[in-house]
Amino acid sequence: MKRNVLIIGAGGVAQVTAHKCAQHAPALGDIHIASRTKAKCDEIIASIHEKGSLKGGGALSAHALDAMDTPAVSALIRETGAQIVINVGSPFVNMSVLAACIETGAAYMDTAIHEDPEKICETPPWYGNYEWQRRDACARAGVTAILGIGFDPGVVNAYAKLAIADHVPDPVSIDIVDINAGSHGRWFATNFDPEINFREFTGTVYSWQDGAWQTNKMFEVGKVWDLPVVGEQKAYMTGHDEVHSLATHYPNADVRFWMGFGDHYINVFTVLKNLGLLSEQPVKTAEGLEVVPLKVVKAVLPDPASLAPDYEGKTCIGTQVRNAAGAEVFIYNVADHREAFAEVGSQGISYTAGVPPVAAALLIADGTWDTGTMVNVEELDPKPFLRLLDGMGLPTRLRDERGDRAWDE
Amino acid sequence: MKRNVLIIGAGGVAQVTAHKCAQHAPALGDIHIASRTKAKCDEIIASIHEKGSLKGGGALSAHALDAMDTPAVSALIRETGAQIVINVGSPFVNMSVLAACIETGAAYMDTAIHEDPEKICETPPWYGNYEWQRRDACARAGVTAILGIGFDPGVVNAYAKLAIADHVPDPVSIDIVDINAGSHGRWFATNFDPEINFREFTGTVYSWQDGAWQTNKMFEVGKVWDLPVVGEQKAYMTGHDEVHSLATHYPNADVRFWMGFGDHYINVFTVLKNLGLLSEQPVKTAEGLEVVPLKVVKAVLPDPASLAPDYEGKTCIGTQVRNAAGAEVFIYNVADHREAFAEVGSQGISYTAGVPPVAAALLIADGTWDTGTMVNVEELDPKPFLRLLDGMGLPTRLRDERGDRAWDE
């Protein structure tokens, strides 16, 4: 059965998701893109036509939408006949979009935890603050809601599930490692909106270790990882969504997230933070002008979208699982910035986040993942998902004592 | 003969100059302080009374003055009967104040080169751009004008003159070294107005070597100096006023200026500069607000005046002169931040700059330095000046092959 898709958001990730939906339109249905600024949706549609990404004869339409307005989202779902909503908008709109899905019966997906603009880094487990409070409502309405179905969270949760099911039972540790070994050629730039980027690293770092939530500061705990393709890379324990669901589902394992940062990034971040230039609180200049320092930093930094054409190199993101018997597996993907740009006009980081929800949409459309309730990705069968991704530009590999190979060899 | 003094400016250096004038009021006359904001002059006067610095029975008065307005400066000189004007205001007012001195016959002093707010780092020798063009006018009017009579430029020029006259004839090199080995205890702060401070280091570094002007970039040429009291210190070749007069008066010697910077300062400076946050050109935030990044940096940094109470440690500033015969002398002063604060309520850097013009005022008042024309400090007899400074909190020491001792032992 065909299922019309409504994509909410029009940023770099939405661009990838829209391209991939267009490539798979025959297995889905009409494709709709909605954002506060309709012109950004029109640009994405133009780039889809330019790349010749649209397959089949379905519709491809742009809509203006305030995604914080649940009745407006419900109305658009009904108007478009969307049965699958892929929310790749700002993390502030998750709950209003989910409410519209519960009301209309459409399937819901997002790629990042809900955030309240007023708060940074709330109590763990983060999913318990908003998402899981709507689990019963989803079940009652028979609504499929797949939380965090980007790459990380998302694919890495499926990697954890696969590792534990087939390779390393009774895990003692689950470590997600996210390395961007690419280079944009600028002296300094953030890969996405500097306001959101820096915001992610100014709060508490939560990890689940020894059966309890542990707290650290950003850049406090570092470790060198020796990874396929990208080699030795320094990564730092970082707060991240998937720690909060994996720790709940595998409470006997330590669950940590590690993100790679070069010394240069850390240095710039540290200088800006310590000077107070990352503050969201306004300061007053000698001339009496009130201004938020972080917004000035954002204004002087390169526009993240401008980085894609020059981005080169690779990302490596994966999940390492170990158990007490000494078994260890690392399941991962390597993506290439230039290939991503050539295919969909975005850099590799947007690519890895934007493709997985389309694979999930295909699995909802064919019934495989149409759960009729709210789930995190590790609650689903990972194999059909990883098989689809293998053919959609995000192949999965596996490294263990038998060597490095495709995950299903 | 008593000579009334008019101090122009009410910043950290002016505070020191005013305190020292007050301490020596019996040898001078009435003391007047003028600034655009009269309240700042009143604060200085209050602190002089609080410390009991005023000796003798002369007047001590505050005035509002726009020092860019030559007729207003002339009028105030006449109204106060000032015969000595100490200009320790912004470097933008030098020429308008000098013009008033030429018109009224008052002696003129400043501590830094004239600057045009629109230009950074003009053609060498800098004194040729504005000051020396008024030399004939001073001579015709019989006006004493002593240029650059702070510590550096100023005392270090007198050190060069003394070294060459008494210790190292026919010099092949004159190196000024300025080290602040003190600590303000903040993560980062500038010792004076961040706008002026950073402005000093964003232009070309001029030095006089091999009989010609040489250009470098800031932090391009570094050297470790082993200095009395403060020990080994890394300093960088920096553009500075005194290079431009000493090179003119001693063209056969290489003339360089070196300023000490810690790696931390350089790192913060480099990050801010490379991100574009030291720019004086406005940028527009995503919300459409036009703002000058440098003014936001200034707004988040500590107020330099707030550093004085916690400042500890010492400065070492001096002149090293060498000749082809292998003779070498280093003449220097070591000042202490806490002692400066205890005596006059300012930190050591303001202290070293603010005391020397008062010694010069005493030498003009008693006729010793009342040249009736425009001079740089190396054109004057250094000995009476250094003798006065020995008793005013800035004793001079000398290090050569005979060891380290007072300069006149």
Question: CB distance from A281 to chain B under 8 Å?
Answer: no
Pairwise CB contact (< 8 Å): A271 & B274: no
Among the partner residues A187, A277, A299, nearest to B284 by beta-carbon distance: A299
Calculate mean pLDDT across residues B374-383.
Answer: 98
Among the partner residues B188, B285, B293, nearest to A275 by beta-carbon distance: B188
Tokens 């050569």 appear where?
A: B400
Confidence of residue B151 (pLDDT cuts 50, 70, 90): very high
Which residues of chain A make contact with B303, given a CB cutoff of 8 A?
A: none
* Contact yes or no for A279/A296 (Cβ under 8 A): no
How far apart are alpha carbons B33 and A345 in whole angstroms? 65
Pairwise CB contact (< 8 Å): B285 & A272: no
How far apart are alpha carbons A62 and A351 in whole angstroms? 21
Measure in Å the smallest separation between the Cα of B192 and chain A Cα atoms: 14
pLDDT(B120) > 80: no
List the end-to-end C-alpha distance of chain A, in Å, as a whole number.
31
Q: Average the pLDDT over each of A239-253, A300-314, B77-91, B361-375 and give the range with the smallest value.
A: A300-314
How far apart are alpha carbons B308 and B305 in whole angstroms? 6
pLDDT(B121) > 60: no
By C-alpha distance, which of B268, B183, B263, B252 is closest to B222?
B263
Question: CB distance from B293 to chain A under 8 Å?
Answer: yes
Strand (E) or helix (H) holding B40? helix B38-51
Measure in Å the smallest separation between the Cα of B254 and chain A Cα atoms: 36
**Cα angle value A146/A5/A131 (rounded, 5°):** 25
Pairwise CB contact (< 8 Å): A296 & B300: no
For B97, the 3-state DSSP assignment is: helix
Which residues of chain B make contact with A276, given a CB cutoff of 8 A?
A: 300
How far apart are alpha carbons B119 and B139 in whole angstroms? 29
Question: Tokens representing A187?
Answer: 């002296």
For B373, the 3-state DSSP assignment is: coil
Quote the DSSP letter at residue A317: E
Pairwise CB contact (< 8 Å): B274 & A188: yes
* Contact yes or no for B171/B246 (Cβ under 8 A): no
Pairwise CB contact (< 8 Å): B297 & A275: yes
Which residues of chain B make contact with A286, given a CB cutoff of 8 A?
A: 295, 298-299
Which residues of chain B make contact with A289, given a CB cutoff of 8 A?
A: 289, 291, 295
Pairwise CB contact (< 8 Å): B296 & A298: no
Calculate mean pLDDT across residues B363-369.
Answer: 97
CATH superfamily, region B4-151+349-390 = NAD(P)-binding Rossmann-like Domain (3.40.50.720)
Strand (E) or helix (H) holding A179? strand A171-180
Question: CB distance from B37 to chain A under 8 Å?
Answer: no
Q: Choosing among B296, B297, B298, B301, which should be mutated to test the A contact, i.e. which has the most A CBs within 10 A? A: B296
Tokens 């707290």 appear where?
A: A215
Query: Cβ contacts of residue B350 below 8 Å, gap of 6+?
Result: B11, B12, B13, B15, B16, B192, B308, B340
How far apart are alpha carbons B159 and B333 in whole angstroms? 10
Which residues of chain A make contact with B277, given a CB cutoff of 8 A?
A: 277, 296-297, 300
Pairwise CB contact (< 8 Å): B289 & A286: no
pLDDT of residue B26: 93
CA dihedral for B305, B309, B310, B314, sign (positive or negative): positive
Which residues of chain B make contact with A271, given a CB cutoff of 8 A?
A: 267-268, 271-272
Measure in Å the smallest separation between the Cα of A279 and chain B Cα atoms: 10
Q: State which amino acid sits at residue A319.
A: T
Which residues of chain B make contact with A264, given a CB cutoff of 8 A?
A: none
* Mean pLDDT of the residues in chain B: 95
Q: Choosing among B90, B198, B267, B271, which should be mutated to test the A contact, i.e. which has the most A CBs within 10 A? A: B271
Query: Cβ contacts of residue B188 below 8 Å, gap of 6+?
Result: A274, A275, B264, B265, B268, B301
- Count how many residues are written for chain A: 409
User: Distance of CA A251 to CAs A160, A168, A172, A208, A384, Å?
Assistant: 13, 15, 9, 8, 26
List the end-to-end C-alpha distance of chain B, in Å, as a whole number.
32
Pairwise CB contact (< 8 Å): B267 & A267: yes
Quote the DSSP letter at residue A373: S
Enter the CATH code of domain B155-345+395-406: 3.30.360.10
By C-alpha distance, which of B393, B333, B331, B334 is closest to B358?
B393
DSSP-derived secondary structure for B299-363: HHSPPGGGGGGG-BSEEEEEEEEEETTS-EEEEEEEEEHHHHHHHHSS-HHHHHHHSHHHHHHHH
pLDDT of residue A121: 55
The CATH class of the A155-346+395-406 domain is alpha beta
Question: Tokens representing B350?
Answer: 């303001």
Residue A325: CB atoms within 10 A of its CB come to 10
Which residues of chain A make contact with B286, given a CB cutoff of 8 A?
A: 295, 298-299
Query: Cβ contacts of residue B346 below 8 Å, gap of 6+?
Result: B12, B13, B15, B16, B308, B340, B354
- What distance separates the 2 farthest-apart alpha carbons in chain A? 67
Which residues of chain B make contact with A272, given a CB cutoff of 8 A?
A: 271
By C-alpha distance, which of A26, A183, A11 is closest to A90?
A11
- Whole-number percent of chain B with pLDDT over 70: 99
How far apart are alpha carbons A62 and A18 in whole angstroms? 11
Which residues of chain B make contact with A283, given a CB cutoff of 8 A?
A: 296, 299-300
| Contacting B residues, span 247-276, partner chain A, CB-CB under 8 Å | 267-268, 271-272, 274-276
**Cβ burial, residue A370 (10 Å; 0-12/13-18/19+):** middle
**Cα A21 versus chain centre, distance:** 17
Measure in Å the smallest separation between the Cα of B299 and chain A Cα atoms: 5
Residue A270: closest C-alpha in chain B: B268
Query: Cβ contacts of residue A119 below 8 Å, gap of 6+?
Result: none
Q: Partners of A322 in the beta sheet?
A: A173, A328
Among the partner residues A268, A271, A291, nearest to B296 by beta-carbon distance: A291
Residue B268: closest C-alpha in chain A: A271
**Cα angle value A110/A114/A120 (rounded, 5°):** 145
pLDDT(B341) > 60: yes
How far apart are alpha carbons B347 and B339 in whole angstroms? 8
- Whole-number percent of chain B with pLDDT over 90: 88
Three state DSSP letters for B112-173: CCCCCCCCCCCCCCHHHCCHHHHHHHHHHHCCCEEECCECCCEHHHHHHHHHHHHCCCCEEE
How far apart are alpha carbons A279 and A297 in whole angstroms? 10
Residue A273: CB atoms within 10 A of its CB come to 15
More confident site: B300 or A204: B300
Quote the DSSP letter at residue B196: H
How far apart are alpha carbons B193 and B305 in whole angstroms? 9
Quote the DSSP letter at residue B369: T
Most confident of A116-130, B187-201, B358-372: B358-372
Measure in Å the smallest separation between the Cα of B110 and chain A Cα atoms: 26
Domain ranges of chain A: 4-151+349-390, 155-346+395-406
Q: What is the pLDDT of residues B380-404, one digit of tens each?
A: 999 999 999 999 999 999 999 999 9
**Cβ burial, residue B184 (10 Å; 0-12/13-18/19+):** buried
Measure in Å the smallest separation between the Cα of B224 and chain A Cα atoms: 25
Which residues of chain A make contact with B284, given a CB cutoff of 8 A?
A: 299
For A149, the 3-state DSSP assignment is: coil
Q: Partners of B399 in the beta sheet?
A: B330, B404
Q: Partners of A405 in the beta sheet?
A: A398
Helix axes of B155-166 and B382-390: crossing angle, nearest 10 degrees = 120
Helix count (H) and strand count (E) of chain B?
14, 19
Pairwise CB contact (< 8 Å): B286 & A277: no
Pairwise CB contact (< 8 Å): B298 & A286: yes
How far apart are alpha carbons B335 and B313 in whole angstroms? 9
Regions of chain A with pLDDT less than 50:
none
Pairwise CB contact (< 8 Å): B271 & A268: yes
* Contact yes or no for A312/A183 (Cβ under 8 A): yes
